[in-house]
Structure 1
Amino acid sequence: MYFLVPLIPFLLSAITLSQAAPAGNSINTDTTTKTTKTAQLNISNLPVGAIITHCTIPGTIALTFDDGPYIYTPQILDILAEHGTRATFFLNGHNRGNIDTSPEVVQRTLAEGHQLGSHTWNHPSLDTLSYQEIVQQMTLLEETFMRILGFFPTYMRPPFLRHTPVVLGAMADLGYHVIGASVDTKDYENDNPDTNWISFEKFLREVDAGGTIVLAHDSHQHTVEILVDNMLAYVKRRGLSAVTVGQCLGDPSEHWYRAGR
């Protein structure tokens, strides 16, 4: 499963996709049309255009990192490799993280068995945008993924976890699985060595309460230097398996990406 890079082009070549790009000022409300479009775009059993916050495979937990790739991403990849752990990275096109300027980090992340997802082009709050602007945020990033890898993700996370029916309708039309979080470390509020423990304690409470999809950021120094090791140590003590979002949802890796629509 982890030797995904050489398999992706072969797997994707077998997928027949439509040329259905959303248009207009609002979501298509024709149920039959939308159902047909979704079926053409998506071969996974997972829902599209619906928020997913919990793993479905017992004993798994998914660590996810937003806003990269950034200067700390290679370090977090080293830590994950030391622990033999796979994670999911939701990437931006042009924000603090920038996949255009760090293609080698994107390629390394994929090659080491981690999952890549979309976090929009430049990290706007999607609930403030029109349908067309939401689609543009996603397709601009798709084009950049295509230039770097030759395919783009089927998973995304909305910036700030904010969404509306318009946002979710756009994601359904584009064929995206929308990943939320049931554990939010708020690590951006505690990016220093004196308060990072607050994020760790929040992680502990929410995992103990049944949370399984964890939100953190590879764009914050002390997340990488302190929080990740602490989270992984606790995951090990709990006897959980830290895997990608796709794995924790039982979704085969050939469903995580596509080469067009």
Structure 2
Amino acid sequence: MNLVRIAALLALTFSPFSLANPVPDSQDQTLAKRSPVPFGVYIDRCSVPGTIALTFDDGPHVFTPKVLDILRSRGARATFFVNGQSAGNIYANAGVIQRAIAEGHQLGSHTWGHPSLVGLDYNGIVDQMLALESAFVQLVGRIPTYMRPPFLAVDGLVLSAMAQLGYHVIGASIDTKDYENDNPAAIQNSLVKFRNELNAGGTISLAHDVRQWTVDVLVQAMVDEVAARGLRMVPVGECLGDPADLWYRNPR
């Protein structure tokens, strides 16, 4: 066990959000050997031809069920990068989390409180991840192996921490910037951006299931656009060729 790993485990032990049993090295090694997706590497494009990954950040939220309804109506599956406490609270929306998994969507970590991880020290980064892991353990009994850094912000320390904690780091090659266009007059700008970046070869999109006009207008428009192009809407793990049983791991 290397010194960085020891530091990570000490951080887990003394963090206020620590879990009782750190992941043994054998679980890390097994996941790494089986998965074609590396840990601690920033990835923003699918590798499986003909697929696109629609992803939604900052939930779970009271708007999220409508997104799930739209996706279900078109047989589409997506990825939700969730927070513990941001626009909504994960415990207050436990049913949304459980429904998303039951309907075949993938859940990933977006940290507990949505801070930029860049600028935090190592223990601060670890605390953000473990706080959300604790909620996942309580709600679904497993923790995700995929994460998206808030604001898509990473540096060497963040990537090193994610590698040590066993996380695949997901960015975006289609960024709708829907948070800038959350009104009926402007939301079409996000759809235009989605189309343009899809035309440019983007395959992992970013939107927010906590924005009213994203949920009321943009989600349906994106799904219709992708369906018209004959692309398969799948979770991030699937678009990267990662078996579904590797999208989550046992509690630490």
Q: Normalized against structure 2, the TM-score is what?
A: 0.89
Give the structure 1 partner of residue 113 of structure 2.
122
Distance of 1:49 and 1:116 partners within structure 2:
18
Give the structure 2 partner of residue 193 of structure 1.
184
Give the structure 1 partner of residue 8 of structure 2.
22
Give the structure 2 partner of residue 258 of structure 1.
249
Give the structure 1 partner of residue 203 of structure 2.
212
Q: Deviations over 1:65-95 (max 9, x none)?
A: 0000011001110011111100000000011
Q: Unmatched 5+ residue regions in structure 2? A: 12-24
Aligned 8 A contact 1:64 1:215 in 2: yes
Q: Is 1:65 equivalent to 2:56 in the alignment?
A: yes
Number of positions where the alignment pairs a residue of Structure 1 with one of Structure 2: 234
**Quick one: percent identity of the two aligned structures?**
56
Q: Unmatched 5+ residue regions in structure 1? A: 1-18, 26-34
- Counterpart secondary structure, 2:53: strand
Question: Aligned runs of 1:46-57 on 2, under 5 Å?
Answer: 46-57=37-48
Distance of 1:59 and 1:191 partners within structure 2:
30
Distance of 2:80 and 2:142 partners within structure 1:
16
**In 2 relative to 1, CA 87–38 (structure 1 residues): closer, same or farther, beyond 3 Å?**
same
- Counterpart secondary structure, 1:61: strand
Counterpart residue type for residue 199 of structure 1 = S
- Counterpart secondary structure, 2:8: coil
Distance of 1:36 and 1:74 partners within structure 2:
37
Counterpart residue type for residue 39 of structure 1 = Q
Distance of 1:37 and 1:257 partners within structure 2:
11
Q: Deviations over 1:30-71 (max 9, x none)?
A: xxxxx9895256442210000010000100000000000011
Aligned 8 A contact 1:67 1:218 in 2: yes
* Displacement after TM superposition at 1:99 (Å): 1.0
Distance of 1:41 and 1:254 partners within structure 2:
10
Give the structure 1 partner of residue 170 of structure 2.
179
Q: Is 1:153 equivalent to 2:139 in the alignment?
A: no
Aligned 8 A contact 2:237 2:244 in 1: yes
Counterpart residue type for residue 103 of structure 1 = A
Counterpart residue type for residue 205 of structure 1 = N
